Amino acid sequence: MNRAVFIDRDGTINIDKDYLTDPGDLELIEGSSEAIRIANALGLKVIVISNQSGVSRGIMTAAQVDSVNSKLVDMLKRSGARVDAMYYCPHHPNYGDKVDCECRKPRIGMLLRAKAEFDLDLAASFVVGDKWSDVKCGENAGTYTSLVQTGYGESDYQRCIDGGIKIDYLAENLFDSVSNFIRKKIETDN
């Protein structure tokens, strides 16, 4: 079985711009490309997972999300970083069709999809994100978790503490998480 790092998109890899619809507005957080290159070198599958409720809310279209995702993959590829898959949840329980889905984080539907497609060992994998829902998703799936202090990370840290959500590593950013937590965990396991 393979190991993966599941990485949230907005606020973790790129600067969160509240319902990013224009690929031209996409900006990487410093160190993100290098972090993903390190994950690639460690043999991890890199899976981007993102809640994109703006689709249900009518703020953006699925085509706009796909366009931003495509630009992100291209930007990372140009810097030598590879993303193996990108999944997103377009649903919100209070908007649109009011779908009670299994894919919206903190639920684990996107992780289960990746597990099936890539033969992943979730217990040996990692979830990194800037929101409580990212960390809770990882906890729900039995992965290691890391909360980054970029995006909403600083404000969501207390929400994790108050909610009893287990954070395995509190990181400055994605680079810190991958280089100082994930890499060391993998080296220790080997």
Q: Which residues are catalytic?
A: 8, 10
Query: Could you tell me whether strands 85-89 and 144-148 are parallel, antiparallel, or unpaired per DSSP bridges?
Result: unpaired
C-alpha–C-alpha distance, residues 21 and 52, integer Å: 11
Q: Report phi then psi at 172, rounded to 5.
A: -65, -45
Tracing tokens 């289960």 back to the chain, one arrives at: 112
β-pair partners for 47: 6, 85
Tracing tokens 């190991």 back to the chain, one arrives at: 3
Residue 44's SS3 state is coil
Instruction: Tell me, rounded to whole angstroms, the distance of Cα 153 from its chain centroid.
Output: 13
Tokens of 168: 């395995």
Tally of residues, the chain: 190
